Structure 1
C-alpha cells in the first residue's frame, strides 16, 4: 500500500474491499523482476514485429499515402504531390525517387506520425523496411510501457508482465506495428501520456501527504503540489493530436480524470475543503499541462509547413521567423478548416468500412494486402495481411470492460475508472461520426487496445486474489489465468500467417476466415 490508498477507509466503513486488495501485491524487493518480465515480453514483441518486416515487398493499403508523405517531409519539409505511378517507382531496385509532381499536397492528418515514419526512411532508405521501421519500434515500445504501467497500477509483477504479453499477442497491434500507417503512433502517444499521468498520481499523492504532515493541514484548501509528470503527459498527448485529431478526446477525458484524482487525493489527505482546493490549486495547472502544453506541441510539429514555402495553401514565407509564424497562423487555420470539412463529409463507400458498434465483435476487418502467388505446394495459394484483432482478447475484453465498469460504479476504484475512461475516449466519439455515415475502419480502434488489455488484467487480478488469500482460490485463479493466456497464444499463433503476409495454401487461408464478413 502507498500512503493515500482508499483501502483502509473502506475497511473502516464496511465497504467491500478495493480492487487493489483483491490483487497480489508486488513482492518486496522485486524491482529487478518488475523490469525483467516486461523487458522479456518486449523482446518477444520486437522479434514478432521486426521479423521479415520488409515483406511483403509492396505498398500496402494506406502506405501509399503515408510512406510518400513522410519522404516528402524529409525532402521539402511539407507534404508534396507525387506522380500517379509513384507506387511502382518505389518498388524498383533501387527505388526511383523521382516521384514528385508539382506543388504541395493537401493532407487529411497532421504531420507528427509521418515525421516519425520519415526517421526510418532516412535511416534505411525508401524501402518497405525503411517506411515500416518506426511503426515496429513504436509498437514494440508500447508493450514495455503497458507492462510497466499495469505493474504500477496493480503493484503486481505478474499482472504487469501479463499485460505486456497480451498486447504483444494482439493481431491488430501487430499489423499496425508492421505497416506505415498512423494509428499505432496515436496509440503509443496516448499510452505514454496515460503512463505519465499514473506516475504523476503516485508521486504527487505522496508529496501531498508529506506536506500535510509537515504543515499540520493549516490551509483549508491544502498545499500546492507541482505535477511535473503532467507536463510530460502534455507533450505526449499533443503529439498524439499532431498525429491524428482523435487524440483530442483523450485530452478531455484525462483532464476530467486527473481533476477527480486531485480532489480524491485532498480528501484522502484530510484537507478540509478538497473540492475547492482541487479546483483552485490543481485545475488551472492541469489545464496548462494538458491543454496549453499539448497545443504548443501540436504547433511545433507543423513547423516544416510553417517555415517553408510551397506547402498546401502556405504562400510566401518571410525571412524573419517571428513574422513567418504570425503570417502562417491564418493560413494554417484555413488549412484546418479544409481538413475538418474533409473528415466530416467523408462518406465514400469502402469495401472494408465498419462501424464503431461492430468493432469489438471484429465484424469487418480490413484486408491490408491480398494476392494469390505460387510457392506454397498447393494448386492455389493465398497471401494476406489482415487487419484484425486477436478474438480471444477482443471478445473477452467486452466482458472484462463491463466487469471493471461495474466495479468502478460500486467501489469507485481509480484503476477501474481510468481504464474505462481510456477505452470510452477512443470509442464513443466515433459513434457521432458513425451515425453520420462517415467512412471508418476497424483499425481506428487501435488506441483503445491498451485499455482493453488493462481491463483483462484487472479481472485476472480479481481472480487471483491477494497474495495472502485463500490458497485454493490462488490455485484456481492462477489456473484460470494461465489457461486464458495459453488460449490467447494459440489463437494468435493460428492467425499469425494472415497477419504477416505468409504464403499458405488457399484452404489454410480459408479455414482462418471464420465469418464471411472477414473475407
Structure 2
C-alpha cells in the first residue's frame, strides 16, 4: 500500500494509529511521564500531576463536558418565562404545537389571537385544520413541554428547545473529545457553544431549527462512530481472506452497521422537523460511500471504486434511507390516525385519485402526497419580502442577524428610569467567536488539502451539509438563524484550530507558552463579549444607548 493511499484513507476514514501529523491535537491531560526527558511548562507539569492516575483521568473525561453543560443550562434557563408573549415565529409554532397536542393535527386559530393566548386563552383553537409549512415533530416536542409545565406558562413554550440546546452542548463536547483525542479541546468546543449568543437565543425561543441542529448532530456522531466500526470490520474481513489465500476483489458488503442505521434514523427525525434535514442525510450517506471506497483502496482491494458503487453503496442506501423515510412518516402519525388534518380527505372532497399502476395506493397516502406536494411548492416559492431576511451568501459574514423581539419603554414605563429603554432578543452571535470560527473553517480546509486530516474533513462535512444547499435558494425568503443547524461544526473547527495554536505539551516551552497565551486571551475576550451581549440575548431591560452600542454593523439594527 502506498503512502498516498494511506493518507487518502486517513483523510476520510481515520486511522487508529498514532502517527505524528503536523496538526495533531494538543493532549494536555496526558500524564507527565509520557514526556519524560523533555522540558515542560509549569502549567503542563502541574496538569500532568493532577491527572496522574487513571481514575482522575476518567473523572476529568466527564467532568469537563458536564461542567460546560451545566453552564449552558444556567445561561439558557435564566428568566426563560420572559418575555411573556409570543416572539417572532413562536406565533406559529407554539399555537400549532398546542392544537397538535390536543387534536392530533394543527388546528387553526382566530385572527390576531397572540395577545389572548399569552394571557392564558390557550384553548381558543378551532377544529378547522391549518396549512403548515413544516412537519410536526418539532411541534410535538414543544407541545410536550407545554403539557408538562402548563401552556399558560411562557417557559413551557420554550423548555423543549432549551433541553435540546443544552444536550447539544454536551454532544459537541463529547464529539470534540472523540475527534481530537483530548478532553480539554472537547470541553473547549462545548464551552464555546455554551456561551455563544446565537446558540443561546435559539435555545430560548420556541422555533424549530434547534431541533434540526440537534438531530443532525446526533446523526453526525453516529456517522463518526460508524467510520471506526466499519473500518475495523473491513480489516478483519481482509485478514480472514488473506489467511485463506483468497482474492480481495470487490471487498465485503458491510451490513452490520448499527451506527449507520442510527444516522439514518436521526436524519429522518431531523427531516420530520424541517425538510432541510434531508441535506444531512444526503451528505452523510455520500460520505459513507466515499469512506468505504477509500477503506477498500487502503486495504488493497482491487477495483475498489467499482466495488463500492456496485456492492456497498446500495447496502448503505438500504441502511439509511428506508429508516429515515419511516422515521419521517412516523412523525405524521397524528395526521394519519385522526380525520381532521389538512388535506386529510382531499380525494373525498373532489381531488383526483391516482390511476394506472398507482391506483392501488390507499387514499390516505394519496392525500398525504398531495399535502406534501403543496408544502414543497410553498417552501420553494416563498419570496415574500421580510425586514430580516438574509441572503445565504452573507451568512458567514453575519450581516443580517434576526431580531426576535423588541419592546421599547419610556421613562416610568415597565421599570424604565431613563428617557428611553428597551428589551431585545437578537440572534447576533458572539462576534469574536463567530468570525474566528469562520476563519477556522478556512484554515481547516487548507490543512485538509495539505495534510489530508480526516478529522478536519468530517467537521467541514457537517458545515457543508448545513450550509451549502441553501446557496441554491438565495432568492427565497430565508434567515440568518438557520445557521444554527451547522454552528456546532463551526465551533468544532474553532476548537481544532485552538488545538493547533496550543501545540503539544512536549513542544518547546516558549512556543507552548505563546500558544497558551494566545488561546487564553481569545477566550477571556470571548467571555467578556458574551457578558456584554447577554442582555440582548435575553430581553433584559436596558438603557437605549446601551442597546445601540451593540449594533457594530449598521445592518444589525
TM-score normalised over the length of structure 1? 0.91
Distance 1:325 1:137, change over 3 A: farther
Show CA shifts across 1:425-464 (max 9, x none). Answer: 2222222211xx2111110111110111111112112222
Q: In 2, Cα distance between the equivalents of 1:271 and 1:34? A: 38
Shift of 1:266: 2.7
Contact 1:309/1:317 (CA < 8 Å) preserved in 2? no
Counterpart of 1:403 in structure 2 is 443
Counterpart of 2:66 in structure 1 is 39
Pair 1:300-2:330 in alignment: yes
Counterpart of 2:458 in structure 1 is 418
User: Unpaired runs of 5+ in structure 2?
Assistant: 12-18, 32-53, 349-359
Shift of 1:214: 4.1
Counterpart of 2:200 in structure 1 is 174
1:40-55 → structure 2 map (5 Å cutoff): 40-55=67-82
SS in 2 for 1:295: helix
Pair 1:458-2:496 in alignment: yes
More moved, 213-222 vs 160-169: 213-222
Pair 1:188-2:252 in alignment: no
The higher radius of gyration belongs to 2
Show CA shifts across 1:211-240 (max 9, x none). Answer: 433443633333444211111111111011
Counterpart of 1:199 in structure 2 is 225
Q: How well do the aligned residues superpose, as a CA RMSD in angstroms? A: 2.5
Show CA shifts across 1:117-156 (max 9, x none). Answer: 1110110111311110100000000001111111111111
Q: In 2, Cα distance between the equivalents of 1:110 and 1:325? A: 22
> Of 201, 222, 230, which aligns to 2:251?
222
Shift of 1:486: 1.6
Q: Which runs of 4+ in 1 moved over 6 A?
A: 7-10
> Of 345, 368, 376, which aligns to 1:332?
368
Q: In 1, Cα distance between the equivalents of 2:493 and 2:338? A: 45
Show CA shifts across 1:359-410 (max 9, x none). Answer: 1222111111111233143221110011221111211122111111111122
Counterpart of 2:180 in structure 1 is 154
TM-score normalised over the length of structure 2? 0.85
Q: In 2, Cα distance between the equivalents of 1:205 and 1:26? A: 27
Shift of 1:31: 3.5
SS in 1 for 2:362: helix
Pair 1:73-2:113 in alignment: no
Pair 1:112-2:137 in alignment: yes
Distance 1:71 1:274, change over 3 A: same
SS in 2 for 1:57: coil
Counterpart of 2:517 in structure 1 is 479
Q: In 2, Cα distance between the equivalents of 1:117 and 1:9? A: 41
Contact 1:116/1:134 (CA < 8 Å) preserved in 2? yes
Contact 1:370/1:384 (CA < 8 Å) preserved in 2? yes
Counterpart of 1:213 in structure 2 is 239
SS in 2 for 1:354: coil
Contact 1:7/1:21 (CA < 8 Å) preserved in 2? no
> Of 128, 148, 151, which aligns to 2:154?
128
> Of 137, 160, 183, which aligns to 2:163?
137
SS in 2 for 1:60: coil
Q: In 2, Cα distance between the equivalents of 1:200 and 1:120? A: 33
SS in 2 for 1:383: strand
